[in-house]
Amino acid sequence: MSECKVKPIYALSPQAKGKIERPYRWLQDRIVRTCARENIRKIEETREVLAYEVKRYNEQQVHSTTGEIPIIRFERARKEMEKEKPPAKPEKRKLTNIQKIKLIEETLGREIVPALKADGGDLDLIDIEGRKVYVALRGKCSFCPSSEFTLKQYIESKLREFVSDDIEVEEVRP
């Protein structure tokens, strides 16, 4: 399989083992039989057989468990996911300084501070200069070993999501 540039995925649990490896075994057997029957000896020709068998399996063969053709099942699942997909976020527009400050304050109050308070922490907005937002962590957050992670991976990412992609958050310590 590796010579055909197909990477098998091996199961992590005994319960899933057959479910993951069985299609590869079936495909390997089919390729070997086809190559033997047609006297194929070159890897390039084997790749063509592999491509044909994968296409046939996905577009023509009825699946033994589901009773459906895999590509039709996939398309139906994709359409169902599109129906459930949340609406796209509006494009971020150029904000005035006042709009940016208000949006930062709203995002902190709605998205960030409640999560910090749930863990016994808090946050004060100290200043905003251009794209830099200066904050002070309070409560348990002020001495937490994960405060740098909270600052960059949570606070900064939320502000980038809701306000502007270029925001940088820096902590101000007393």
Span 113-156, pLDDT tens digits: 998 888 888 999 999 999 999 999 998 888 888 888 888 888 99
CA distance to 28, 62, 127, 171, per residue, from 77 (Å) = 27, 17, 47, 45
According to the model, what pLDDT value does residue 136 have? 93
Strand pairing of 168-171 and 132-139?
Answer: parallel
Task: Report the SS3 class of residue 116.
Answer: helix
Instruction: Give me the percent of the chain exceeding a pLDDT of 70.
Output: 81
Tokens of 135: 């904050």
Question: Nearest 5°: phi and psi at 68?
Answer: -125, 160
Q: Which fold has domain 97-171?
A: GMP Synthetase; Chain A, domain 3 (3.30.300)
- What pLDDT sits at residue 88? 57
Give per-residue pLDDT as tens, 53-78: 888 877 888 877 778 887 887 788 78
Q: Which DSSP string corresponds to 118-152?
A: HTTEEEEEEEEETTEEEEEEEEGGGT-TTHHHIII
| Domains in the chain: boundaries | 2-84, 97-171
- Most confidently predicted of 25-29, 75-79, 110-114: 110-114
Comparing 5 with 70, the larger pLDDT belongs to 70
Model confidence, pTM: 0.48
Better-predicted residue by pLDDT, 27 or 160: 160
Strands (E), 21-131: 121-129
Match 């009773």 to its residue by tokens. Answer: 67
Percent residues over pLDDT 90 in the chain = 25
pLDDT bin (cut points 50, 70, 90) of residue 21 is very low
Please, which residues have CB within 8 angstroms of residue 131's CB and are 6 or more apart in sequence? 164, 166, 167, 168
Report whether pLDDT(39) > 50. yes
The whole-number average pLDDT for the span 152-170 is 91
